[in-house]
Chain A
């Protein structure tokens, strides 16, 4: 609640400052973006159970694989990278699937569109701020427990480092893609499932390169190429996804 208030307050103050100096609206972006990020952060911190649940889901999915397959070390070593990536992917998608659904229902998105118009902040920037916070909240817990799960699958130290770096980059791409899909599905029947259906084919490249990097590190080979590709994907996603997400949100609020 306080987040919504602070957003509108920020938008109001921004509007007055824009009226006094219409030539340079750029510095006025900061308070709006800070308000958006603060609201997300506060709502997440007030319900820490959700954050724990993301991490718990990741551990549970990863733990199901050794139980359902042969649990000898060689098999686990072979399957480890793929399993870890699939589990991380599912955890992040589950967290991001309903990202804009409740916001649309509660009217926060309409506020957001109005505030962006009033303050001269592009909606894409607000969406980008939202994605950044969502990445911290959804991928942070997963990254935090990843060493624990990697231990179960017998990953060595070098592979663990590459896994963490790859997950950090890859989950950011996934969050960006899933946010666009969530914006497209906001307010529709079965929004979370629809988001999954849209994102899974697009998530394939991230998963492929992420798992490849860990495989390479396991075998003692350098994983720089795969990590660079993940970084390139992140750069492209950071450019394209906020714009597409803003487009989707605009049509969702107009409807």
Chain B
């Protein structure tokens, strides 16, 4: 069932159609989840007894940190599928996911630093979690740099897939090694002591996590649409589609040179 779905959408044409249908609803979903989530997070929930107002960064920080790890796993999964079954669309999906994952990794680092300054009195600690997040961000940077350096798209697909798999093999090692290293060097590591959460806090957090998921899916689908538009520019079905879109004046997603540039980034 699942593998049949993968192979059905392995054709760039079908993936393009699917992405075109999903981008808008997913963006609206992200907005619909984020607005009540933010309202709950910033207005309704009281300030934390210990951490004061600063704890509210958690509503951004936790989803970002989760997504940064999850997106990398997803990239590794699609890279594996692409390497084994030579489906080009899965490589494109992996490329499309990478920038979003990198942004979330950076966001989790920045929000973590802003949270750590008032709470721990320092912007940065060589703590296990922090160090492995930083290394994850570097992994994303390596992936993106390799993607940019390749001009031949077939080679870029395979090279990036190999790198994503190598990083995925290393990810648990990085996590555990950094943990052991620091427990030996630094004594007890600092952790946000949250034994239990108030129900509205949990709701807010879950809403924000859902919004992060929807946003990730929307950006990945939009980017995969642009990547397909760039790589399949000579395909007849795409030209047909673009002609149709330009004629019907409904303000559909028009492909401009700027969009193509953005997809390459």
Contacts and interface: CB of A to CB of B under 8 A. Distances in A.
B162 A180 contact: yes
Given A197-B141, A251-B159, A240 B169 contact: yes
Given A185-B146, A212-B184, A251-B159, A202 B152 contact: no
A208 B180 CA distance: 9
- The interface residues of chain B, by DSSP majority, are classed as helix
Contacts of A188: 149-150
A240 to B, nearest CB: 6
A22 B174 CA distance: 45
A189 B149 contact: yes
Given A248-B159, A251-B154, A180 B146 contact: no
Contacts of B162: 180, 184, 244, 247-248
Interface string B46-67: 0000000000000000000000
A250 B159 CA distance: 10
- Contact residues on B (Cβ < 8 Å of other chain), bracket: 20 to 34
A250 B155 CA distance: 9
Interface in A179-195: 180-181, 184-185, 188-190, 194
A43 B174 CA distance: 36
A198 B154 contact: no
Interface residues of A, number: 31
B159 A204 contact: no
A255 interface: yes
A184 B159 contact: yes
Interface of A: 177, 180-181, 184-185, 188-190, 194, 197-198, 200-202, 204-205, 208-209, 212, 233, 236, 240-241, 244, 247-248, 250-252, 254-255
